[in-house]
Amino acid sequence: MTTRTPAASPAEIAFPALGTTAALLVTDPQALPTAEVVLRAELAAVDRTCSRFRPDSELTRVNLSAGTPVTVGALFAEAVEAALHAARLTDGAVDPTVGRAVAAVGYDRTFASLAPDDARPLPVARPAPGWQRIVWNPRTRRLRLPPDTHLDLGATAKAHTADRAARHIAEVTGTGVLVNLGGDLTVAGPVPDGGWRIALADDHAGPAADHGPAVAVTGGALATSGVRVRTWRRAGRTLHHIIDPATGEPAVPVWRTVSVAAATCVDANAVGTAAIVLGDRAVDWLRRIALPVRLVGLDGHVQCLGGWPPDPPEAAGGAR
């Protein structure tokens, strides 16, 4: 998912963050420096709090304390709430207790550090312990994980950060803002004429096609989940980062990408990720969820649900 803006458009900046690309657009160019400071502060805070790859992160401390109650900080508590909300919304298709499974398939370091072809054998896959086994008191911020359980808050924490940052920037600057964190996108404040125009693609960092599929976003959030970009090989298999909690293995690929519009990026991200996990069962479930959704099959066939507008004829063939 990439952002198209016309000439004489809102000001924009992009930079690496959270193992992906952070893109920030504001309708008032003079507000860009302040907006960037706010966004970088939000990103630094969530990295210190929720990174699986930092030995000094709060998530690392919590995972090492599995089986023992711990008191967590305010931002970590928000991340836990977002993760548990996503689990409830998706009937457990998105489950934060997949941390050990994600590491077991080889995603145990930053994506940029992964070996392109890892010869190590894969361990025997096991289902995730299950989010219902987490003991959580939001009033006291006391958390107890099941023994031998590791949380993975990556996807929901990133989406929550997009929501937080967009809201905070709009409050501080009064400008319209779009925050895009690797395909997790939230808007807040006044929007440009015609809305924020978003091009859809397999790779959020790729260039936007002039006549590719695109939508206009005037409020809320949009998220795209997919199995084409974050892939690697291990023990002769091509793997991706979206784990099916029921098996502890990468979800069987059925959809190349799933894009979802919702009130919050947390909801959009959760529903899109769940659709990848559900595979062939996703369409019936998505019809019950009733959010606008665009699914692209492995063969490029596009299916739109919940009022998502059809692709224009010149964009036939689906997202890149």
Can you read off the two tokens belonging to residue 16?
């690496």
d(CA 273, CA 89) in angstroms, rounded, equals 11
The residues, ordered by sequence, that sit 6+ positions from 284 with a Cβ below 8 Å of its Cβ are none
Phi then psi for 142, rounded to 5 degrees? -95, 130
Per-residue pLDDT reduced to its tens digit, 118-171: 767 777 789 999 999 999 999 999 999 999 999 999 889 999 999 999 999 999
3-state helix, strand, coil in the chain (%, to 5): 35, 25, 40
Structure confidence at residue 117 as a pLDDT band (50, 70, 90) = confident
pLDDT band per the 50, 70, 90 thresholds, residue 319: very low
Q: Give the model's confidence band at 210: pLDDT under 50 very low, under 70 low, under 90 confident, else very high.
A: low
The tokens for 105 are: 């398939």
Q: Could you tell me if residue 57 is left (phi over 0), alpha (psi between -120 and 50 degrees) or otherwise beta?
A: beta
pTM for this predicted structure: 0.91
More confident residue, 233 or 85: 85
Burial-class residue 45 by CB neighbours within 10 Å (0-12, 13-18, 19+). Answer: middle
Q: Can you give the pLDDT at residue 318? A: 40
Average pLDDT in the 273-296 region? 97
Q: Which domains does the chain have, with CATH numbers?
A: 2-315 (3.10.520.10)
- For residues 187 and 177, the answer to whether their CB atoms sit within 8 Å is yes
What tens digit of pLDDT does each residue of 258-278 get? 999 999 999 999 999 999 999
What pLDDT, on a 0 to 100 scale, did the predictor assign at position 320? Answer: 30
